Structure 1
């Protein structure tokens, strides 16, 4: 039973870490931009997935105008991105050029007959049920829909995190071998001795049978 609880705990932790990294790290989509617009958004239960107001604006947490970028993927599926500043907050993209990106996206609009493919860097998820949109960070034209973009930033972050986790794990194993395991062994030995004394005491009170 204890092993099941332990494995469930660690699986839950790693799933949460993986979800956090997948949401936060940058991703690149190859898309064709079809339209850009601005819309007043009333924030509700999904406010966690919206950025803070743009730098210099009033800190209104109820509603505000948000830029959006509509696009089509090479397989024909639609994709909608929000375009919000991250400022000095989290995730640490230090994005302050929302209006510039909106202007650039508008300039890259194209039609199905004469497509202009764009590499859209973003973070976050798209979820229609909860009305969640990924946040566009950067847009640049590319040669075609089959362009492969290596996510060097995400790879670098994952390598650094992996090294940090390995370093912490190595130090924990050494600390556990020197301090924790001997203490647990002493506690287990003390418990065995206490149990043996209690058993002898109980047997002495029971007295001889027959």
Structure 2
């Protein structure tokens, strides 16, 4: 039972960490090589696509999606989708998809004259199930070695850690004050009852 307990605990925290890693904003330094628009028909991977743009029919299955192609300083290629999040989840309240696509298109460059940008995004890239991180903002930076401190993610993680600690402390105090005494009392009564039963049988045996 101990192994089962710790397996469930590890699985719970793994899900929490994966959720935070997918949802919290991240930054990539890259140069934009191209932008394009493509018709998408979300299928089994629909959970990793945003809803239709704000103002459009959310029940539409097929829709056009903007994409931003980039190449990072180490040579790796990364492709981002560019979709509104609207009032949904995650709460980035992104409504400027078309404006962001225009900015990205204006910042395109080649290997001979690179223009480096910081791309803030959330989500994952997986070629096997065709999912892409969603670009939230794009801004020029001085070069590929720029360090960006993720203040928003740090603030959110600190807040979540503080909330978890507060809940844990209060739960521990409640358990120690209310639950443990009841369990100890029940255990004492069970031991007394057991002693009485054993004493009854010992007298009968005599």
Contact kept? 1:82, 1:136, Cα under 8 Å: yes
Query: Between Structure 1 and Structure 2, how many residues are aligned?
Result: 206
Give the match for residue 155 of structure 1: 154
- Which residue does the alignment assign to 1:66? 65
| RMSD between superposed Cα atoms in Å | 1.5
Q: Distance in 2 between matches of 1:104 and 1:44?
A: 30
Query: Counterpart in 2 of 1:11?
Result: 10
Instruction: Give the alignment of 1:140-179 within 5 angstroms.
Output: 140-179=139-178
Secondary structure class of the residue paired with 1:12: helix
Residue in 2 that maps onto 1:109: 108
Q: Partner of 2:127 in structure 1?
A: 128
How much does 1:201 deviate? 4.8
In structure 2, list runs of 5 or more residues that go unmatched: none
Distance in 2, matches of 1:150 and 1:163, equals: 21
User: 2:14 aligns to what SS in structure 1?
Assistant: helix
Q: How far has the Cα of 1:21 moved from its partner?
A: 0.5
Instruction: Determine whether 1:22 maps to 2:21.
Output: yes
Looking at structure 2, the residues matched to 26 and 202 of structure 1 have their Cα atoms a distance apart, in angstroms, of 70
TM-score (norm 1): 0.93
Contact 1:43 1:61 in 2 (8 A): no
- Contact kept, 8 Å, 1:25 with 1:123, in 2: the verdict is yes
Q: 2: distance between equivalents of 1:193 and 1:45?
A: 60
Partners of 1:125 and 1:133 within 8 A in 2: yes
Query: Deviation string for 1:110-148 (max 9, x for gaps)?
Result: 001111111000000111111110000000010100000
TM-score by length of 2: 0.94
What's 2:96 paired with?
A: 97
Residue 199 of structure 1: CA displacement?
Answer: 3.9
Q: Match of 2:117, SS?
A: strand
Give the whole-Å Cα distance in 2 for the aligned partners of 1:22 and 1:141.
24
